[in-house]
Homo-oligomer: A and B are copies of this chain.
Amino acid sequence: MTSSSSGAQARRATILDVAAAAGVSRQTVTRAMNDMPGISAGTRERVQRLAAELGYSPSRFAKGLVQGARTSLGLAIPDLTNPYFPAFASSVVEEATQRGWNVVVDDFGHGSGSGLDAVARLEPQVDALVGYLGAASNDAQTLMGRRPVVVLDYPLGHAAGAISFDYPYAARLALGQLLAAGRRHIAYLDSDHDGAVSTRGLAVAAAAEEAGVELVVLQAAADSAPSAREVVRIKVERQRGVDGLLVFNDLMAAGALKGLHDAGWKVPEDCAVIGMDGIALGELVTPELTTLSLDLRAVGRAAVDLVDNLLSGAVEGRSPDASLVLKHRLVLRQSA
Interface positions, chain A 68-111, Cβ under 8 Å from B, are 69, 75, 79-81, 83, 85-87, 89-90, 93-94, 97-98, 102-107, 109-110
Residues of B contacting A87 with CB < 8 Å?
Answer: 80-81
- A10 and B315 contact, CB distance less than 8 A: yes
With A61-B65, A81-B90, A104-B103 in contact, do A255 and B280 touch (Cβ < 8 Å)?
A: no
Which among A23-31, A121-129, A215-223, A231-239 touches the partner chain?
A121-129
Indicate whether A284 reaches chain B with its CB closer than 8 angstroms.
yes
Indicate whether A225 reaches chain B with its CB closer than 8 angstroms.
yes
- A280 and B225 contact, CB distance less than 8 A: yes
- B125 and A60 contact, CB distance less than 8 A: yes
- A107 and B124 contact, CB distance less than 8 A: no
Q: Shortest beta-carbon distance, A267 to chain B, in Å?
A: 11
- B255 and A284 contact, CB distance less than 8 A: yes
Indicate whether A55 reaches chain B with its CB closer than 8 angstroms.
yes
Residues of B contacting A16 with CB < 8 Å?
Answer: none
Indicate whether A57 reaches chain B with its CB closer than 8 angstroms.
yes
Closest to A62 in B: B65
Q: How many residues of A contact B (CB 8 A)?
A: 61
Residues of B contacting A283 with CB < 8 Å?
Answer: 225-226, 258
Please give the count of copies of this chain that the complex contains.
Answer: 2
Residues of B contacting A102 with CB < 8 Å?
Answer: 104, 106, 121-122, 125
Residues of B contacting A58 with CB < 8 Å?
Answer: 124
Q: Shortest beta-carbon distance, A257 to chain B, in Å?
A: 8
- B97 and A317 contact, CB distance less than 8 A: no
**Cα of A63 to Cα of B125 in the assembled complex, Å:** 11
Interface positions, chain A 161-210, Cβ under 8 Å from B, are none
Closest to A11 in B: B68
Indicate whether A266 reaches chain B with its CB closer than 8 angstroms.
no
Indicate whether A12 reaches chain B with its CB closer than 8 angstroms.
yes
- B69 and A80 contact, CB distance less than 8 A: no
Q: Shortest beta-carbon distance, A228 to chain B, in Å?
A: 10
Residues of B contacting A86 with CB < 8 Å?
Answer: 80-81, 83, 85-86, 89
With A104-B103, A145-B55, A285-B284 in contact, do A90 and B62 touch (Cβ < 8 Å)?
A: no
**Chain A 257-288 against B: per-residue CB contact (8 Å), 1 yes, 0 no?**
11001000000000000000000110111100
- A124 and B255 contact, CB distance less than 8 A: no
Partner of A90, one of B55, B64, B110: B110
Indicate whether A211 reaches chain B with its CB closer than 8 angstroms.
no
Given A10-B315, A89-B105, A93-B105, 14 further pairs, Cβ under 8 A: A10-B314, A57-B124, A59-B65, A60-B61, A62-B65, A79-B90, A86-B89, A90-B107, A102-B106, A225-B280, A225-B283, A225-B284, A258-B283, A258-B284
Give the top 10 A-B pairs by smallest Cβ distance, nearest first: A55-B145, A80-B90, A61-B64, A61-B65, A86-B86, A286-B286, A254-B284, A105-B105, A93-B107, A80-B86
Can you give 12 contacting A-B residue pairs, CB < 8 Å?
A56-B145, A60-B64, A62-B65, A75-B105, A79-B90, A81-B90, A90-B109, A90-B110, A94-B112, A97-B121, A102-B122, A225-B283
